[in-house]
Chain A
């Protein structure tokens, strides 16, 4: 008889675990509270136009890219429609104060060359910094689909140093420091907190293969669901886990909101740990553990502005734009300016086809603290009061003012504007305080912010963005670790490496 696995939460983590385990002979069942599985991959339609909710900038799908390997093994890679971002500048970093735009070019050498043209006297430092970034990445076993020797990340130094310190150790030029941390607004990097390995991983990951889903990120979720179903598993949507029944350090069953009871040999929680604690009797966990997990600092939230353009009015941009007023702003992008304007933003025009000339839509992310919307925290979707809606429009206008600074007459190209606040994110993703990237990695306290996938409950494993690392890179890698607990990590990595020969060509 096949061993059974019940996975709570149909986000990327849950679905990747589901796909791997169902391929490897487990009978998998995924419980998803929404009508469509996908979590951060989920897309929604408004006025007939599809928008991604969370996964905009992707990478790792280039030849030999780690995600290319993983998803080739899973068997969805060749059906994904992926478009590489501009080679000459996959990201554009606009510095308003100086009117300069820095382009980040694809590939290690290109990247060094391009950034050096802005800072010729720093060429050696840039070179050495990037070399170190690549070194760090080489040492992270799982990123290279190697079994870790002792810990997941074998190099403690890069876990206990912050990315800001790492950069500062290579250059004292504060402008260059900011430029090298341009992507903070994408992954919520924070000064003196975000560990060096996180910054290094993300920087290298995108330098190697920044790209986009053509037609939205839901395609990956749909592909994973298909794999699970083809291998005899099932994904139950509109089925929220309501209670996890634990006895004697062992999960007996999970009861859904509709009263259905589910039993399995193993359970994987792919939801925010705090959300998991809410649906179980926490006394089964050690107080210290429960307390520790529940008090891990969450990442910041975001205010996301969604724009649809009038037809043929705004060009398709094959890069993501990062905008800040001043160099220092990259390190505190969640802090509003004194007049409540955001300090910067990240924007992109998701492609609809492989050869877009004009953009259909734009997504503009500004990092926002949950505190800003805290006064409405007890309200629910659609019932938040007019002051809340007025606040949203006001903030949308601040974001549009910022876009006008980059693209004069921006407003005249717009068809519609709407937005999601930290509250929207909280309520749709079911994450505390709308933390887009879940729990925060803090280099000052790695043991605290780093959760093992195993728990004291003998048949419960954890996965998802709150364990280890978030994002399109972190979550699938953690899923491998989680599945490795059942299959055997070395064996699983061997299988992935062996079966990942299929190549995706763009």
Chain B
């Protein structure tokens, strides 16, 4: 470790790694500091009994040739290390709502056709809906590769129209409204708060080619780290940054938990903004800004049951199954102890080698942080028996719901493991275990990548948008502060 770098990046999640990649590729001397033992943030995986489980990124969209994310993956040299497995194009996602199954098919024409078969009277509305979400995506300069506008900021009516108003405008058919919003767990949306563009980006991205990553999403982190090292960048694991020291005008130094001080010209924080702000004790950060950042509402947190199946028993399900138990896909986070879970997402993991059977699956559902807050002071693996019992009880309830929908599955589960919002808090450092960080709310100003300290920037899911695409684009926006927008844009779009 040197005592001075051009750029210090705090956190090795996707945003930090992409910033590290772009800046080291362009000649900056970069150091990335990660508090955990494993790099990758939401790209972390873990292995139990020889089976690898994913924790954050389960499938990615926009992977068709010529699609947005495809272009960014090329620029990030990811395809050399990645193999993708397309999900079922006739129904990559299945929304199970009020005892009916609705499929989302790949490509807009198929999407419209498949859904219109279920809602024949709504064909025009579905077509109009597809047109609008495409339009939203194209109006964002980074999502539409062809559209080179000066501004990076996504701005239009779509930024402050609520999903509820958007869906009401789309159709008066409430079932269809719910089905279209069926992927809400992918953005933890709140009907009257989340802006419609969040919904549009996620749905568009998936309709434009949804894939699993063969062998697990940690391959993305691994590939980026290898590239960064080849460009001369450095990554330090188990190196928690505790303080960002500022002089009267800007940030100068970080202090690690072990007391080591590292200087830099630029700082990029890929941690949760609230965590970042807590590291800074400088009057450059005014209390109004501090209060605003620290007072923001967080997205929902999740409880996951990881299933290891018996060998060659459970046929591989090449889609994602969104099941809802109530009368709406919304408000799953407003559950009571009696009606939890109000819905779940069930999927299989893509095996490293082709086989018709699944080795592993996951069931994900909302869990509020309050339920586990009492154990927040404990450490991983030392949280005590009460926590274990709590997790087991929750897992059993979730498994019972799965069995009700997919009968016979439980008999083929060899072992299962669980994670709670505390697990996320521990491994990703996100406040309250919030799956997608701060909630995008039409009534709250967004967090931008620039901070009140001129040489400190944010990256990661809390600025720009969340998800693989949102975070990569956010990282590009952050790096453009150093490299210049036009220059970086050109570099990305001329990649072959």
* Chains A and B are bound partners: yes
> Which residues of A are at the interface with B, using a C-beta cutoff of 8 A?
47, 382-387, 389-390, 392-394, 396-397, 400, 409, 411-412, 414, 416-418
- Are A414 and B443 in touch, CB under 8 angstroms? yes
Q: How far is the CA of A149 from the CA of B191 in the complex (A)?
A: 58
- Are A393 and B169 in touch, CB under 8 angstroms? no
Residue on B nearest A306 in the bound complex, by CB = B192
Q: How far is the CA of A367 from the CA of B433 in the complex (A)?
A: 42
Q: CB-CB < 8 A to A396: which residues of B? A: 442-443
Residue on B nearest A386 in the bound complex, by CB = B157
Q: CB-CB < 8 A to B162: which residues of A? A: 389, 393, 418
Residue on B nearest A390 in the bound complex, by CB = B157
B84 interfacial contact with A, CB 8 Å: no
Q: CB-CB < 8 A to A416: which residues of B? A: 190-193
Query: Closest Cβ of chain B: how far from A126's Cβ, in Å?
Result: 40
B376 interfacial contact with A, CB 8 Å: no
Query: Closest Cβ of chain B: how far from A324's Cβ, in Å?
Result: 22
C-beta contact mask, B145-169 vs A, less than 8 Å → 1, else 0? 0000000000001111110111011
- Are A382 and B166 in touch, CB under 8 angstroms? no
B282 interfacial contact with A, CB 8 Å: no
Residue on A nearest B195 in the bound complex, by CB = A393
Residue on B nearest A379 in the bound complex, by CB = B169
Q: How far is the CA of A21 from the CA of B93 in the complex (A)?
A: 60
Residue on B nearest A383 in the bound complex, by CB = B169
Label chain B's interface by main secondary structure.
Answer: loop
Q: CB-CB < 8 A to B166: which residues of A? A: 386, 389
Query: Closest Cβ of chain B: how far from A125's Cβ, in Å?
Result: 43
B455 interfacial contact with A, CB 8 Å: no
- Are A394 and B169 in touch, CB under 8 angstroms? no
Give 6 CB contacts A-B under 8 Å: A386-B161, A389-B162, A390-B157, A396-B442, A400-B443, A417-B192
C-beta contact mask, B55-84 vs A, less than 8 Å → 1, else 0? 000000000000000000000000000000
Q: CB-CB < 8 A to A392: which residues of B? A: 165
Query: Closest Cβ of chain A: how far from B488's Cβ, in Å?
Result: 30
Q: CB-CB < 8 A to A386: which residues of B? A: 157-158, 161, 166, 169, 196
Q: CB-CB < 8 A to B196: which residues of A? A: 386
Which of under 10, 10 to 19, 20 to 34, or 35 or more describes the interface residues of B?
A: 20 to 34
- Are B443 and A382 in touch, CB under 8 angstroms? no
Residues 270-323 of B contacting A (Cβ, < 8 Å): 291, 295, 297
Residue on B nearest A412 in the bound complex, by CB = B295
Q: CB-CB < 8 A to B223: which residues of A? A: none
Partner of B161, one of A47, A382, A389, A397: A389
Q: A390-B161, A411-B444 are in contact. List 5 more A-B contacts (CB 8 A).
A: A390-B159, A393-B160, A393-B165, A400-B443, A416-B190
8 interchain residue pairs of minimum CB distance:
A390-B157, A389-B165, A386-B157, A393-B160, A389-B161, A382-B168, A416-B192, A393-B442
- Are A393 and B161 in touch, CB under 8 angstroms? yes
Residue on A nearest B159 in the bound complex, by CB = A390
Partner of B169, one of A382, A414, A417, A418: A382
B412 interfacial contact with A, CB 8 Å: no
B331 interfacial contact with A, CB 8 Å: yes
Q: How far is the CA of A461 from the CA of B308 in the complex (A)?
A: 77
Q: CB-CB < 8 A to B297: which residues of A? A: 412
B260 interfacial contact with A, CB 8 Å: no
Q: How far is the CA of A417 from the CA of B158 in the complex (A)?
A: 17
Partner of B331, one of A47, A382, A387: A47
Q: How far is the CA of A409 from the CA of B442 in the complex (A)?
A: 16
Residue on A nearest B193 in the bound complex, by CB = A416
Q: CB-CB < 8 A to B158: which residues of A? A: 386, 390
Q: CB-CB < 8 A to B169: which residues of A? A: 382-386, 389
Query: Closest Cβ of chain A: how far from B138's Cβ, in Å?
Result: 15
Query: Closest Cβ of chain B: how far from A373's Cβ, in Å?
Result: 14
Residues 363-397 of B contacting A (Cβ, < 8 Å): none
Query: Closest Cβ of chain B: how far from A423's Cβ, in Å?
Result: 13
Q: Which of B162, B168, B291, B295 has most A Cβ within 10 Å?
A: B162
- Are A390 and B160 in touch, CB under 8 angstroms? yes
B26 interfacial contact with A, CB 8 Å: no
Query: Closest Cβ of chain A: how far from B154's Cβ, in Å?
Result: 13
- Are A411 and B443 in touch, CB under 8 angstroms? yes
Query: Closest Cβ of chain A: how far from B202's Cβ, in Å?
Result: 18
Q: CB-CB < 8 A to A400: which residues of B? A: 443
Q: How far is the CA of A409 from the CA of B288 in the complex (A)?
A: 10
Q: Which of A382, A389, A418 has most B Cβ within 10 Å?
A: A389
Q: CB-CB < 8 A to A394: which residues of B? A: 160
B355 interfacial contact with A, CB 8 Å: no
- Are B295 and A393 in touch, CB under 8 angstroms? no
B356 interfacial contact with A, CB 8 Å: no
Residue on A nearest B331 in the bound complex, by CB = A47
Q: CB-CB < 8 A to B291: which residues of A? A: 409
Q: CB-CB < 8 A to B191: which residues of A? A: 416
B172 interfacial contact with A, CB 8 Å: yes
Q: How far is the CA of A385 from the CA of B170 in the complex (A)?
A: 10
Query: Closest Cβ of chain A: how far from B115's Cβ, in Å?
Result: 19
Q: How far is the CA of A56 from the CA of B164 in the complex (A)?
A: 26
Q: CB-CB < 8 A to A387: which residues of B? A: 157
Q: How far is the CA of A386 from the CA of B191 in the complex (A)?
A: 16
Residue on B nearest A387 in the bound complex, by CB = B157
Q: How far is the CA of A388 from the CA of B331 in the complex (A)?
A: 25
Query: Closest Cβ of chain B: how far from A205's Cβ, in Å?
Result: 35
C-beta contact mask, B187-205 vs A, less than 8 Å → 1, else 0? 0001111001000000000
Query: Closest Cβ of chain B: how far from A482's Cβ, in Å?
Result: 37
Residue on B nearest A382 in the bound complex, by CB = B168
Query: Closest Cβ of chain B: how far from A403's Cβ, in Å?
Result: 11
Q: How far is the CA of A366 from the CA of B168 in the complex (A)?
A: 25
C-beta contact mask, B327-369 vs A, less than 8 Å → 1, else 0? 0000100000000000000000000000000000000000000
Query: Closest Cβ of chain A: how far from B175's Cβ, in Å?
Result: 15
Q: CB-CB < 8 A to B161: which residues of A? A: 386, 389-390, 393
Q: CB-CB < 8 A to A411: which residues of B? A: 295, 443-444
Q: How far is the CA of A386 from the CA of B132 in the complex (A)?
A: 10
- Are A417 and B168 in touch, CB under 8 angstroms? no
Q: How far is the CA of A383 from the CA of B165 in the complex (A)?
A: 9
Q: How far is the CA of A382 from the CA of B442 in the complex (A)?
A: 18
Q: How far is the CA of A389 from the CA of B444 in the complex (A)?
A: 16
Q: How far is the CA of A389 from the CA of B168 in the complex (A)?
A: 11
Partner of B172, one of A382, A384, A409: A382
Q: CB-CB < 8 A to A47: which residues of B? A: 192, 331
- Are B443 and A393 in touch, CB under 8 angstroms? yes
Q: How far is the CA of A396 from the CA of B441 in the complex (A)?
A: 12
Q: How far is the CA of A385 from the CA of B169 in the complex (A)?
A: 7
Q: How far is the CA of A414 from the CA of B162 in the complex (A)?
A: 16
Q: CB-CB < 8 A to B157: which residues of A? A: 386-387, 389-390
Q: How far is the CA of A152 from the CA of B162 in the complex (A)?
A: 49
C-beta contact mask, B12-35 vs A, less than 8 Å → 1, else 0? 000000000000000000000000
Query: Closest Cβ of chain B: how far from A49's Cβ, in Å?
Result: 12
Query: Closest Cβ of chain A: how far from B231's Cβ, in Å?
Result: 43
Query: Closest Cβ of chain A: how far from B487's Cβ, in Å?
Result: 33
Q: CB-CB < 8 A to A412: which residues of B? A: 295, 297
Q: How far is the CA of A418 from the CA of B291 in the complex (A)?
A: 24
Residue on A nearest B158 in the bound complex, by CB = A386
Query: Closest Cβ of chain B: how far from A14's Cβ, in Å?
Result: 28
Q: CB-CB < 8 A to B295: which residues of A? A: 409, 411-412
Query: Closest Cβ of chain B: how far from A481's Cβ, in Å?
Result: 41
Q: Which of A386, A392, A418 has most B Cβ within 10 Å?
A: A386
Residue on B nearest A417 in the bound complex, by CB = B443
Q: CB-CB < 8 A to A390: which residues of B? A: 157-161
Residues 441-468 of B contacting A (Cβ, < 8 Å): 442-444
Query: Closest Cβ of chain A: how far from B70's Cβ, in Å?
Result: 29
Q: Which of B157, B159, B166, B444 has most A Cβ within 10 Å?
A: B157
Q: How far is the CA of A418 from the CA of B191 in the complex (A)?
A: 11
Q: How far is the CA of A9 from the CA of B291 in the complex (A)?
A: 51
Residue on A nearest B160 in the bound complex, by CB = A393
Q: CB-CB < 8 A to A384: which residues of B? A: 169
Residue on A nearest B172 in the bound complex, by CB = A382
Q: CB-CB < 8 A to A385: which residues of B? A: 169
